Structure 1
């Protein structure tokens, strides 16, 4: 039994290193380490299953607190357990400060807990210099965890504010791709440019946020007006209509806006993976013709859309992931409950 116990430092060290590496990768390098990605995928899959079974899209709105708390819990739990196994692997490494008796497993677990939290209660102490040094390292790793947990949470709040800003703007300007175009043309002082140049700043912020923290693609909102996974596809479809169906020059800034939408759609697919859905049907441009727009023929427009099937499939996948319908994106469906 004792030889087995003395080897517990090996899995303990693996757990500690796994957490520390995942913290660095998630908060500094790519936005999502392997460990946090595994946690996010499992929790997100469970939420989506519950939303489908109970037919309640609102359950997806819990994705933000569930994924954040789940990640923090796994990081803390593995770091705590890992250090506990390291200290427990050597009998007598920790003793009671008053009675000098070797610490039990639960006492070692308690010692690691207040060491990671930097409380330093002193009820249990390390007996030899090596274990005292490891106690200091454990305390530093706890501070490391706390610091990077804040780094993990704070950008989420800012990114969600930007997402809501764009979603609200598009919701009030729409709803739906063709309504965005018609309302911009008739109601906005900048006309169609309101869908391009006016949105550059917030689109760039959202694009950068999703490149830095791709797990943002797993966050959803309860209300339709806040749903970026509904309104960004509508904006993308509207921009494709303006570029491919409208006669004459494109509105200034259209290609820059479309590039931002394309980039967000690409990071969405990289985050979720899997096969893309089929290409959504081409939009019926009757409302635009009825509003007086000078449009190309359907054949010319469909030929243009054929060169953008990958983008439209990704936008369709984004819509589907949020449990919205493509009819809501196209603007041919009433508001969802």
Structure 2
């Protein structure tokens, strides 16, 4: 028996299984492997967007999820294959012939797919126990993956609902601010409360399922980054003006929810977000946004600018009317 292959195989299995369970079941973020695969996949897709256009953003999150799933499956398949290869004489067919390289690879995949053992079988007690464990694990792997993807899909729907709710208020920061001021005070209060709850819900989902961050839309008007930036700028307008006194406290609560989301974004996604430096006189900002500046606002705009760039957007599109892809 090759102890080196056995140890290496189990190390790969432990790393992959830990990353899989931490990402899918902990609701505390992504594992080390998942996080780095997501960042690499995002860069690949961003490169392809530059060649083929924004329509690829509709496949952004799907592509990253499939890449993560493929890496998990490949590592577990390869690790278990190394374990079986540590003593290949213990895997034979029904006539007692020892399985060759490709047959062991086939046998490993057959075990993980929970289809049984096929026309090969282990003949040592140790490999019989390993086979039993990973047959059971294969079932857990696929059911947990599907449950995880369903949870991600639900979080993505809520993310897009939030973007749609903001867009319905207006397609520029000033338009959103004016809409909230024109509405009756009780209705404005309900709108702000609803937005605050949706922002908090998305912020929690964003931390629990980081892959939600990568789900984008090709149409600019549906983009999460453009709408959340417009909402934040609209709050800057309202909080720095003398209007909206009847619901100022509600505006502050919504602003606090957005601040929490931006801090989480800056802390946990700084490696995946493009760099964007925004200063009070930055030429990237439209003139209508350069008249209200503070250090806190500059920091918010730096994070929001990175979020915009991650979806191929700019600050000028934040204030333009009736954006279309």
Q: Shared fold by TM > 0.5?
A: yes
TM normalised by structure 2 equals: 0.89
- 1:169 maps to 2:165: yes
Give the Å deviation of 1:60: 2.0
Change (3 A) 1:6 1:106: farther
Deviations 1:275-333 (A, max 9, x none): 442246486389xxxxxxxxxxx6xx53xx3333222211111111111121222x245
Is the Cα–Cα contact under 8 Å of residues 19 and 78 in structure 1 kept in the other structure?
yes
- 1:284 maps to 2:276: no
Superposed CA RMSD in Å reads 2.4
- 1:114 maps to 2:110: yes
Please list, as runs of the form range in 1=range in 2, the aligned pairs for 1:28-177 lying within 5 A after superposition. Answer: 28-29=25-26, 30-54=28-52, 56-97=53-94, 99-177=95-173
Please list, as runs of the form range in 1=range in 2, the aligned pairs for 1:129-278 lying within 5 A after superposition. Answer: 129-187=125-183, 190=186, 192-193=188-189, 196-246=192-242, 249=245, 251-274=248-271, 275-278=275-278
- 1:13 maps to 2:10: yes
Change (3 A) 1:283 1:103: same
Give the Å deviation of 1:195: 5.1
Unaligned runs of 5+ in 1: 287-297
SS at 1:8 equivalent = helix
Is the Cα–Cα contact under 8 Å of residues 221 and 324 in structure 2 kept in the other structure?
no
Moved over 6 A (4+): none
Change (3 A) 1:189 1:83: same
Greater CA deviation, 83-92 or 244-253? Answer: 244-253
Give the total of aligned pairs: 316
- 1:306 maps to 2:295: yes
Aligned to 1:326: 315
- Whole-Å separation in 2 of the counterparts to 1:270 and 1:333: 32
Change (3 A) 1:9 1:309: same
- Whole-Å separation in 2 of the counterparts to 1:247 and 1:180: 14
